[in-house]
Amino acid sequence: MGGWVEGDPVGDRRFLDLPAPFPLDRGGTLPAVRIAYETWGTLAPDGGNAVLVEHALTGDSHVVGPAAEGHPTPGWWSGIVGPGAALDTDRFFVVCANVLGGCQGTTGPSSTAPDGRRWGSRFPEVTVGDQVRAEVALADALGIPRWAAVAGGSMGGMRALEWAVAEPARVEALFFLASGAVASADQIGTQTTQQAAVRADARWAGGDYAPDAPPVDGLGIARRIAHLTYRSGLELDARFGVQVQDDGRYAVASYLDHHADKLARRFDAGSYVLLTEAMNSWDVGRGRGGVEAALARVTARALVAGVDSDRLYPVEQQQRVADALGVPLRVISSPYGHDGFLIETAAVGALLTELLGKP
């Protein structure tokens, strides 16, 4: 149960230990940080063909590739990365790192602290800014002075935008998808409700739960709540309606049960709470004079896109970013809601190809 831990099969991961200590936005430091990442393609001698892909909340560094030892699920954006794909690995060197605070090889609550115990509740609060600074250190270590593009959707879109604002000279192109520049009350509300579900599980133990008895019931409820925001009501109605299965469960309830069970097998509850709190605190304009002032720092060529049926990150949130960057908003038509950014790979790939151009 839960995420990757030391001693599990490494799979395609590589690791980088950052120089210690690692300072954090909200005060304090982490005495040690390890970043797990994967790469595809070959880095050009000048480092100029590198693309950073940013994963969403329950994603990880495994953007493309089969499920295998060390990787409980297949790549989450397989149609986007690979030879001849929009992020053509014959042309680009593609990098994806598990986010700081995550549970798939990068230091997070389930990692071992310097005293030999799991971090658990002692793991400090992290921000999107902290997460991007860890990726800056990774880029430096890999010899990448400037990304040809930074691309991400949902929580990954936050980090992509933070890169373009915090490090404008290091981002040539920005692909911002199905995300926002600042957390909304609606997003904070649904995410704090998910956190409450995790904390209500008796096994949560204040965040210091036993590794062999994690709060899977609470995490499962959190995932059910989240998944309803990831899909559209139209799709759920068309797909399930009020159908009742032979076991007496509504078909839609069975579907949510399935996704809850899947997540509990591969994700750490502590990371879920920590990362949703980082999303709650997201505001690209904090300390920068507001959202529009922050976005005025962006020098990257930008493409901003949303999904027309997205009820978690509605298109008006992407419209605000597009307006501030002076680019048209591109809208992907999909019945799948927020998850359209993962499912509609043909449409997403076409937009990426437009942004990056042909070789």
Give pLDDT, residue 204: 98
CATH of the domain at 53: 3.40.50.1820
What's the domain range around 348? Answer: 14-184+281-356
Kindly report, residue by residue over 220-240, the tens digit of the pLDDT: 999 999 999 999 999 999 999
Q: What is the mean pLDDT of the chain?
A: 97
Kindly report, residue by residue over 293-324, the tens digit of the pLDDT: 999 999 999 999 999 999 999 999 999 999 99
Q: Which amino acid would we find at residue 219?
A: L
| Residue 310 annotated in active site | yes
Residue where one domain finishes, among candidates 232, 250, 279:
279
Residue where one domain finishes, among candidates 263, 279, 295:
279
Structural domain tally of the chain? 2
| Residue 111 annotated in active site | no
By CB neighbour count within 10 A (0-12 exposed, 13-18 middle, 19+ buried), where does 117 fall? exposed
Antiparallel, parallel or unpaired: β 87-88 and 81-82 = parallel
Kindly report, residue by residue over 18-69, the tens digit of the pLDDT: 988 999 999 989 999 999 999 999 999 999 999 999 999 999 999 999 999 9
Q: Which of 201, 268, 310, 339 is catalytic?
A: 310
**Both 174 and 196 in a single domain?**
no
Give pLDDT, residue 358: 74
Residue 85 has pLDDT above 90, yes or no: yes
Residue 179 has pLDDT above 90, yes or no: yes
SS3 240: helix
Residue 1 has pLDDT above 70, yes or no: no
SS3 275: helix
Residue where one domain finishes, among candidates 226, 251, 279:
279
Q: How far apart are CA 174 and CA 292, in angstroms?
A: 16
Band of the pLDDT at 2, cuts 50, 70, 90?
Answer: confident
Antiparallel, parallel or unpaired: β 22-23 and 34-40 = unpaired
126 is a domain residue: yes
Q: Which residues contact 334 (CB under 8 A, 6 or more apart)?
A: 307, 308, 309, 340, 343, 344, 347
Antiparallel, parallel or unpaired: β 301-307 and 93-97 = unpaired
Compute φ and ψ for 249, nearest 5 degrees: -85, 145
160 is a domain residue: yes
Give pLDDT, residue 20: 86
Torsion of CA 202, 195, 116, 203, to 10 degrees: 10
Rg (C-alpha) for the chain, rounded Å, is: 19
Rounded average pLDDT over 188-216? 97
Give pLDDT, residue 63: 97
**Both 114 and 245 in a single domain?**
no
Rounded average pLDDT over 3-10? 92
**Both 180 and 327 in a single domain?**
yes
Q: Which of 62, 309, 338, 339 is catalytic?
A: 338
3 is a domain residue: no
Q: Which of 154, 179, 271, 309 is catalytic?
A: 154
User: 3-state secondary structure string, 135-148?
Assistant: HHHHHHHHCCCCEC
Residue 198 has pLDDT above 70, yes or no: yes
204 is a domain residue: yes
17-21, 101-105, 205-209, 301-305: segment of lowest average pLDDT: 17-21
**Both 153 and 254 in a single domain?**
no
